[in-house]
Amino acid sequence: AQSVTQLDSHVSVSEGTPVLLRCNYSSSYSPSLFWYVQHPNKGLQLLLKYTSAATLVKGINGFEAEFKKSETSFHLTKPSAHMSDAAEYFCVVSGGGRRALTFGSGTRLQVQP
């Protein structure tokens, strides 16, 4: 079985300050982990993925995430928020085989000017 928990449903930051979106996962297998972003009225876009290579994963738009097996976490960070980062962010886990990806409940990131 696999599951993912996004610890914050809503995060608000000021433009230019760091972003931290938290995600914990559970998987019976060595997981693949992803972060997706969804802008209003749009589809989901892949930000980055972890597939058992380097534990620090760099993605698009300056985002990165660190896989910590001991903490079962895969938090998403960005050093400096931009107004265009305001969106819904989803942490996703895959347990391998033919299992579909399991999505977290999402974190809405608000960026204040």
Contacting residues toward another protein, per CB under 8 A:
32, 34, 36, 38, 41-46, 49, 51, 88, 90, 94-101, 103, 105-106, 108
Q: Which is nearer to another protein, 75 or 89 (CB)?
A: 89
Least distance from another protein to the Cβ atom of residue 27, Å: 11
Q: Which is nearer to another protein, 102 or 113 (CB)?
A: 102
Q: Which residues contact 57 (CB under 8 A, 6 or more apart)?
A: 48, 49, 50, 64, 65, 66, 67
Q: Which residues contact 69 (CB under 8 A, 6 or more apart)?
A: none
Q: Which is nearer to another protein, 97 or 113 (CB)?
A: 97
Least distance from another protein to the Cβ atom of residue 96, Å: 5
Cβ neighbours around 65 below 10 Å, total: 26
| Among 103, 102, 84, residue whose Cα is nearest residue 15 | 84
